[in-house]
Chain A
């Protein structure tokens, strides 16, 4: 599971994340929504161990990230919005190296690498350099790496960006299967339909603060209309549609 308790991140006088708490239970897919610059990526990067919170506590599968970072990171899979991949490595080499970082080596690694490449339909490209991959293929390779070590919790930043419909369907199916197996998934996305379709619960963050949390229906009720389209609910909660201004400008 993933639990963040009252985390704050300040950049000088600017507070990017302000007193945010949330918990993702085992088997839960938690949608993390918010407009651009709301603090989603900063929050996810703090959970992944890339940014140090100014205040607050992060616990991954029972391990405190500050006091026991190796155990916390060892049980977490992270898919960043702008992933780094060694361009001059082949897909197979990259996954083997990634496996090694998480303690998977020896005979088991080859079978596991093939399993992941098959799952994400990249087996044909195992011996090709990453630099020749399309954006969608790189995205699938990063997912393969993140799930290689069978994490019990996963943090995903914008998983659907750059994926074709087939790739998007594949990722959704993988997430559902992992959720069935008890993996906690925290997923940030701008695609509200995906969040609505996939998430057991959602959190909405705006200007660094959590403004809504609950199931999709609970959030709808919070916005005042249980039958409203989810995009309208999101816009109502995060500060208006801006349509009037668009009319004036255009």
Chain B
């Protein structure tokens, strides 16, 4: 092959063009919705960065110091994210991607294949960081009325900054695939992910940013900044990027840190390229051995399934679903960022010091209890769209087994419902109870929230399973089902359902709380309306679940005709 490496990226360009040209049903809705959400997030980031930077201007040199520190920490967070993302993405692009079966049989020079795969890895691993950084840096620049050179410098700084951790991550993957038995590489990645999540929580726990909010702990703030200025940070590319950007923001130029970024990025590329030429094929060859991986028997799943009062069909469907899920490490891997976020979420409730404002704390705690319920609902919807919505699609090309067997499709779909409901109910109930407990919400609200979660979980799991059956994608990767037309439709309906349910629960709960705090007797009519509001919330939940499941069963039955 004589063409330069970008030729190898052509299929992705052509495929994107074909997707745009041949729009599928719901593409416009999806693009519009995601575009609007994306623009909203970007606007919020821009506004936030602009506001913080403007506020810091009031503190003169101390503000400058805080801005430098903030930029350095922002880049440090991204450095960790990019390195982890680089490890995971490189495993896919360099070793597991389907098109490697085509490309490796072609006479492509190793260097060109490396460059093409690295560009793909870099793009996939860093697009989210770039999307996040762009409005933030634009906001910072706008607030400081930065010269045009700042924006050009930002591009020249962010580019090598992204290359360094992704190259390091890709190198780690290369090492991992070559050293460990390939079948274990994914498992080890899971551990890396766990470590990453744990590190994130530990760092936040360590620096305790909430201390900034406590006026009485002002003397501690010096310690806080001392903690932030770890002695190792000047050796990291995140520090170089932060310093270079700050210099550009002030109309200057920081050749030391700028050249440190570029030379490290180029050195990283050269070393990685040499290592890939030497060890990539051996690693790829080993990764092909993965299908012969040792089987984990997971006998406990059989024992539990046999202990449950289930029909033979439902028991076997349950065993199959649970084992397939547990044996697919890539599924587990996607749960890790979620667990990290949940830990942070709970930690925030623990750190929330509402007693500082005693006259408001009772009111605020109860408002937070409902916010917590809404948050739990959104987390539930997100988990459901990723793990429950694709339940039918994940049967994939093996769905003929179900369709040709004497299993009623109603029974099949309800088994999917129960398999999704139990873990999600445990997860959401645990999350809600823990958050309300940590916050010290009113006992009445704790009970309302705990009961509401049961109905919300039933409704959202039923909606996810039902719509997943109405809009299945048997041919495609089930992990991408969340972004399909059906997935987007589910998210819209789920958000609407959560808002309506929270409103229906919040109004009577707040009435009851106020009457108790103010010792006011509620009228019979008002009590009736409050009970009706609770009943309506329950009725909507049950109806959502049953209607969605029924349309799912009908859609599957229509498939048989």
Contacts and interface: CB of A to CB of B under 8 A. Distances in A.
Contacts of B2: 103, 105
Contacts of A89: 11, 14-15, 18
Interface in B319-365: none
A65 to B, nearest CB: 11
B119 interface: no
A80 B106 contact: no
A83 B98 CA distance: 9
B524 to A, nearest CB: 64
B288 A50 contact: yes
Contacts of A71: 107
A11 B183 CA distance: 11
Interface centre among B2, B8, B282, B289 (most CB of A within 10 A): B289
A70 B22 CA distance: 36
B362 to A, nearest CB: 57
A100 to B, nearest CB: 6
A148 B489 CA distance: 44
Contact of A101 (B19, B22, B108): B108
A93 B22 CA distance: 15
A73 B109 contact: no
A195 to B, nearest CB: 23
B368 interface: no
Interface string A59-100: 000000000011111101010100111101110010001101
B31 interface: no
A148 B3 CA distance: 17
A22 to B, nearest CB: 19
A76 B106 CA distance: 9
Interface in B103-155: 103-109
B11 A86 contact: yes
**Size class of the A contact interface (CB-based, 8 Å):** 35 or more
Contacts of B281: 52
A73 B107 contact: yes
A93 B14 CA distance: 8
A48 B108 CA distance: 13
Nearest to A142: B102
B107 A84 contact: no
A76 B105 CA distance: 9
A12 interface: yes
Nearest to A77: B105
**Size class of the B contact interface (CB-based, 8 Å):** 20 to 34
Contacts of B104: 49-50
Contacts of B285: 50-52
Interface in B474-520: 475
B10 interface: yes
A12 to B, nearest CB: 7
A12 B105 contact: no
Nearest to A78: B105
A133 interface: no
Contacts of B105: 48-50, 73, 76, 78, 80
Contacts of B19: 88
A105 B3 contact: yes
Interface in B208-226: none
Contacts of B32: none
Contacts of A69: 107
B62 interface: no
Contact of A52 (B22, B103, B282, B475): B282
A73 B3 CA distance: 16
A125 interface: no
A101 B282 CA distance: 22
Contacts of B108: 70, 101
Interface in B164-184: 181
Contacts of A12: 181, 289
A89 B105 CA distance: 19
A102 B106 contact: yes
B420 to A, nearest CB: 29
B181 A129 contact: no
Nearest to B101: A84
Interface in B1-34: 1-3, 7-8, 10-11, 14-15, 18-19, 22
Nearest to A101: B106
B101 A80 contact: yes
B561 interface: no
Contacts of B475: 131
A136 to B, nearest CB: 17
A105 B2 CA distance: 10
B299 interface: no
Nearest to B11: A86
A145 to B, nearest CB: 9
A102 B10 contact: no
Contacts of B99: 84, 86
A101 B181 contact: no
A101 B7 CA distance: 8
Nearest to A155: B105
Contacts of B15: 86, 88-89
A51 B283 CA distance: 10
A131 B476 CA distance: 11
Given A80-B101, A88-B19, A93-B14, A101 B107 contact: yes
Contacts of A84: 98-99, 101-102
A50 B101 CA distance: 7
Contact of B3 (A74, A80, A85, A100): A100
Contacts of B18: 88-90, 93, 129
4 residue pairs, one from A and one from B, having the closest CB atoms: A74-B107, A52-B285, A101-B106, A88-B15
15 contacts: A12-B289, A14-B292, A50-B104, A51-B288, A70-B1, A73-B106, A84-B102, A86-B11, A86-B99, A97-B11, A101-B1, A101-B107, A101-B108, A102-B1, A102-B106
Given A49-B105, A50-B285, A88-B14, 20 more contacts: A11-B292, A12-B181, A12-B289, A14-B292, A45-B288, A52-B282, A69-B107, A70-B1, A70-B108, A71-B107, A73-B105, A73-B106, A83-B101, A84-B101, A86-B14, A88-B15, A89-B15, A90-B18, A98-B102, A102-B1
